[in-house]
Amino acid sequence: MPSAKPRIAYNFRGVTMPTASHPAIRRLKRQGHSPSIHGNKLWKSSFLLIDYLNKHRPEHAARVMDAGCGWGIGGIWCAKALGSEVTSVDADDGVFPFLEASAELNGVNTTALCKRFEKITTAELKAYDMLIAADVCFWDELIAPVSNLINRAVRAGVKKIVIADPERSPFFEVADRAIDRHCGELLDWRTHNPVSASGALLVIENA
């Protein structure tokens, strides 16, 4: 019996999410592109983030920052579904060819910015309505940078902050701090179709 062909993409809430088997992704890997800080695939938290935003369409989303974007699908969904102008930020410039390929598959553009969370200033954040992130609290060393980024975003007047996570322990530390300091809300979230994903969302309304 012939073996089943590997899936090359998911169509999820209006975006095309390529897998590692997608020809555009395979081409980049053959060319030697290789992200180095875990931005080597689309992480499942992106499904949680997109599903939440699809169900709770943000009122203010003209300018969106996707922090720790990896292949950038959260921001790409905002550009496609909400018409947002998106800046896709990552410390690793090795993710950007994958971001560009994913954006092209979806017929949108986002602006790539190579920057660490620690270097994103309050003044810079003033230009944004919404800050999103998926699976960016995967080491204890990321607790302070992500918490401080949230603090600066709130201070800058970013109206909504949404961070999705597969429930890694550093994320809960970030969430606890944000709940205390900014009245953030922690939501359990899961998706079933076409992909099963579960985790939590930290949502801060700063209107």
Residue 191, strand partner residues: 197
Residue 114, strand partner residues: 90
The nearest distance, CB 160 to ligand SAM, in angstroms, is 17
46 is a contact residue toward ligand SAM (CB under 6 A): yes
3 state SS of 89:
strand
The nearest distance, CB 206 to ligand SAM, in angstroms, is 21
39 is a contact residue toward ligand SAM (CB under 6 A): yes
The interface region with ligand SAM, picked from 18-26, 38-46, 78-86, 179-187 by CB under 6 A, is 38-46
Separation between Cα atoms, residue 33 and residue 115, nearest integer Å: 19
33 is a contact residue toward ligand SAM (CB under 6 A): no
The nearest distance, CB 36 to ligand SAM, in angstroms, is 7
The nearest distance, CB 130 to ligand SAM, in angstroms, is 15
- Please name which of 44, 45, 42, 49 lies closest in space to residue 64, comparing C-alpha atoms: 49
- Please name which of 137, 159, 134, 135 lies closest in space to residue 148, comparing C-alpha atoms: 137
CA distance from start to end of the chain: 58
Separation between Cα atoms, residue 134 and residue 19, nearest integer Å: 17
The nearest distance, CB 117 to ligand SAM, in angstroms, is 4
Q: How many residues does the chain have?
A: 207
The interface region with ligand SAM, picked from 22-30, 35-43, 100-108, 174-182 by CB under 6 A, is 35-43
Residue 113, strand partner residues: 89
Within residues 101-120, the interface with ligand SAM by CB under 6 A covers 116-117
Q: Mask 113-152, x = binds ligand SAM (CB under 6 A)?
A: ---xx----------------xxx-x------x-------
Q: What angle, 0 to 180 degrees and rounded to 10, lies between the N-to-C axes of helices 169-182 and 143-156?
A: 30
Residues found near ligand SAM in the complex (CB under 6 A): 37-39, 42-43, 45-46, 68-71, 90-92, 95, 116-117, 134-136, 138, 145
